[in-house]
Amino acid sequence: MFSHIAKLIWNRKRSNVLIITEIVITFIVLFAIISATLHNYRLFNLPLGFNWENTWAIELNTGSRWNNETDKNQLKAIVEVLKQRPEIASVGLIRMGVFVNAHWRSSRPINGRESIYHSNMVDQDALKNWGVELVAGRWFGEQDNGQSYTEIVVNQLFVDEYLPDQDPVNFEFGDPEQPQILPMRIVGVFKDFRQQGEFSVPGPYMFTRYQIEEGHTYGVREINIKFKEPKTAAYEATLLKLLKSIAPNWEFNINSWEKRREQQIQNVVLPLGLAAVVVIFLLIMVAMGLFGVLWQNISRRTQEIGLRRAIGASERSIRLQIIGEILVLALFGISIAFIFLIQVPLLQLIELVSWSNFWFSLLASVSTILLIVILCALYPSRTAIKMSPAVALHYE
């Protein structure tokens, strides 16, 4: 029977090439969207590392150049005023805010090995106030003032990656290319802080301490205020008025973390949703293509089924033949697609596709394609199979 099916497929190769091509394309797109969805789903379920509830970000635009006297005092004044408001639980300064796509990549050798990490800057109490969990050591504090090191805290991944067999607390590392700069000292390790949100890939992360007093020229860009109770948008005007009264020459842009987060989720989910629509469209195309090619000549196909039954094929063997035919085509298409797809994890073309993701997505795409293809092949034949052979033979 198998060689018979092979002959049929070979002799119908012209229309079959079309089906196989459609299957290859659909399979690849289907695979891409399943693996992308799976990848993002997994990321989404990883702990974020901080609480985003009831927190607003005030983005600062301090004008052309930071004036170390006036601007510093203005910032200090704002923080002081905000801290005193009864509705505000905490005020935290950060260089690159949460749920925005800005980040700072930095590198420096650790134990002779180049380490790459994201670096950010917060004031002393911000992380604690945002619910970041400390797993070793301590947060930065006053005791770090005036020391011969730059105090930093790093996330657990940083430790796992670059200091796996070492006590990270109080570990110091300098920059050999810039010996005049103070070495960094890890004073504490926190669980994680996925600044760029739930869909970001966790990686080594580092915070240095920001002190208004020191007046870094590139300072902070955001003041984040955590409220004791949820605040409505109406509060924004009150807040803006307050800020403007202290710093009339600055521009402020106020956004809740919640809104930023929603926006970010949308930025990921929307394209995926669109891709899903495309995939559904492609799947329909494949289904139609199969219907078309297998059944463009429904009378011929019905007559063939009638003939086969007339010469002694059982209903079951006809179903098996139809499924066999389409399975061979589908597996052919899937194999071609597989040859392309396996390159992704093999060559690590896209870091996002891990092996487990790969196999799962492959399995899911294969099942989907097979299911559709089998249904499309069997569905139109069901009436032909149920007809008496005499009727099927004369079907027009």
Partner 1 sequence: MLNLNNIAKTYQTEKIETIALKNINLNINRGEFISIMGPSGCGKSTLLNIMGLLDEPSDGEVKVNGKSITSYHDKEMASLRNSKIGFIFQSFHLIQDLRVIDNVELPLLYRKISAKERRRLATAALERVGLKARTSHFPSQLSGGQQQRVAIARAIVGKPELLLADEPTGNLDSHMGNEIMQILESLHKDDKTTIVMVTHDDELAKRTERTIRVYDGQLIH
* Residues in touch with partner 1 (CB under 8 A): 1, 3-4, 7-8, 11-12, 300, 303-304, 306-317, 388-391, 393
- Cα 122–Cα 103–Cα 147 angle in degrees, nearest 5: 35
- Cα 138–Cα 140–Cα 141 angle in degrees, nearest 5: 105
Comparison of 315 and 351: residue with beta carbon closer to partner 1: 315
Closest separation between CB of residue 394 and partner 1, Å? 9
Comparison of 79 and 326: residue with beta carbon closer to partner 1: 326
Compute CA distances 158 → 125, 154, 268, 369, 387, whole Å.
21, 6, 26, 41, 69
Comparison of 156 and 303: residue with beta carbon closer to partner 1: 303
| Token pair for 289 | 């293509």
Using an 8 Å Cβ cutoff, are 353 and 359 in contact? no
Closest separation between CB of residue 286 and partner 1, Å? 22
Phi, psi of 285 (to 5 degrees): -60, -45
Distance CA(152)–CA(117), nearest Å, equals 13
Using an 8 Å Cβ cutoff, are 328 and 9 in contact? yes
Comparison of 310 and 339: residue with beta carbon closer to partner 1: 310
Closest separation between CB of residue 38 and partner 1, Å? 41
Closest separation between CB of residue 197 and partner 1, Å? 56
List b or e across 126-145, with b for residues whose CB sees 16 or more CB atoms inside 10 angstroms. Answer: bbebbebeeebbebbeeebe
Closest to 193 in 3D by CA, of 209, 204, 179: 204
Comparison of 147 and 388: residue with beta carbon closer to partner 1: 388
Closest separation between CB of residue 384 and partner 1, Å? 14
Comparison of 222 and 304: residue with beta carbon closer to partner 1: 304
Closest separation between CB of residue 19 and partner 1, Å? 15
Closest separation between CB of residue 393 and partner 1, Å? 6
Residue keyed to tokens 């203005």: 74
Strands (E), 157-290: 172-173, 184-190, 205-210, 222-227, 251-256
Residue keyed to tokens 């497929």: 9
Closest separation between CB of residue 330 and partner 1, Å? 19
Comparison of 43 and 378: residue with beta carbon closer to partner 1: 378
Comparison of 1 and 233: residue with beta carbon closer to partner 1: 1
Closest separation between CB of residue 315 and partner 1, Å? 5
Comparison of 13 and 244: residue with beta carbon closer to partner 1: 13
| Token pair for 42 | 């997994």
Q: Is 160 exposed, middle or buried (0-12, 13-18, 19+ CB in 10 A)?
A: exposed
